[in-house]
Amino acid sequence: MRVLITGGSGFVGRRLCESLARQGYELQVVSRSPEKARAVLPEGCDVREKATAFADAPPEALVNLAGESIAAKRWSEAQKREMVDSRLRATGDLLALCEALREAGEALPRVLVSGSAMGYYGAQKQSGEGDTAVTEETPPNDEFAHRLCARWEAAAGDIEALGVRTAIVRIGLVLGEGGGTLEKMLPPFKFGLGGRFGSGRQFMPWIHRDDLVEAIIFLLEHDSASGAYNASAPHPVTNAEFARTLAGTLNRPAVLPVPAFVLKAGLGEMSRLLLTGADMRPERLQQAGFTFRYKTLDRALEAILAPER
């Protein structure tokens, strides 16, 4: 199968390309810097600057992961616009490709797997406040993170309206070596300076990068898969539990909490990423038959951090 991937040179995209290449898929990758992307992607990837440039080699499947990092910079109004616009541009380019293929009488891609995030649900109940499980049916809390994800998902819906089977992955915090959530968390924890954020009762839905890659491939290959899927491990933890487990894996203490007011002062609105969360469960993925390799945080961190110790 020929698969076109946006965001293919990113932290998740690179591992996805490696896995697909091993399985014999033909890879097409959209990148603003093709030469840099080719240097980190498997040999034989066809890398071009725009999705529409692949009209001469129509893909059979689309994976849409591109977008400005939500944790790269402080959330100024300009940065918030770029986080939204970058996702809409990438998805819009895929829509334009599909429309061009249809006009040329070419077959449309059979499937789109498009990214979203746990932020879709906004801030949900914290641990200890009653039934907190968040499934794909849980009503969202209206805030910026939700509106960002909702607009991204709606843009993917325009491609679905053309007749392309579409699955949305609402991704939790991605854990893996060399990047993702752990990249910024590890240094203080290695020095015994880590601890919970704020009350520590907010949930941190997480997923091992390899499980996320396998979930994306699962959704590509299962013809009945459509709609939204929570892409997070079946056992989410609170922030305090995450801090204790990470510190324990590193054989370090976790006794220095970061007060909420410090995070709010330093990060502004972006501090909500650290101080709020959702007890997100992968209900639809598991109902569809997907099996997680890393179901618990301790096992995931042991696998990722073994070389660190």
Cβ-proximal residues to 134 (8 Å cutoff; 6+ apart), any chain: 121, 124, 230, 278, 279, 280, 281
Residue entry with tokens 């949900």: 124
- Domains of the chain listed by start with CATH number: 2-308 (3.40.50.720)
42-60 b/e (C-beta count within 10 Å ≥ 16 → b): beebbbbeebbebbeebbb
Q: pLDDT value at position 176?
A: 95
What is the rounded CA–CA span in Å between residue 126 and residue 26?
Answer: 44
**What are 41-66's pLDDT values in tens digits?**
999 999 999 999 999 999 999 999 99
Q: What is the pTM of this model?
A: 0.94
Q: pLDDT value at position 129?
A: 64
Cβ-proximal residues to 254 (8 Å cutoff; 6+ apart), any chain: 189, 194, 195, 196, 243, 244, 246, 247, 248
Cβ-proximal residues to 80 (8 Å cutoff; 6+ apart), any chain: 144, 148
Name the residue among 151, 183, 153, 155 with its Cα closest to residue 170: 153
Digitized pLDDT (tens) for each residue of the chain, 309 residues in all: 999 999 999 999 999 999 999 999 999 999 999 999 999 999 999 999 999 999 999 999 999 999 988 877 888 899 999 999 999 999 999 999 999 999 999 999 999 999 999 999 998 877 766 557 999 999 999 999 999 999 999 999 999 999 999 999 999 999 999 888 888 888 888 888 888 998 999 999 999 999 999 999 999 999 999 999 999 999 999 999 999 999 999 999 888 888 777 767 766 776 777 778 899 999 999 999 999 999 999 999 999 998 654
What is the rounded CA–CA span in Å between residue 233 and residue 175?
Answer: 11
What is the rounded CA–CA span in Å between residue 62 and residue 109?
Answer: 7
Q: pLDDT value at position 185?
A: 84
Q: How far is CA 199 from the centre of its chain?
A: 25
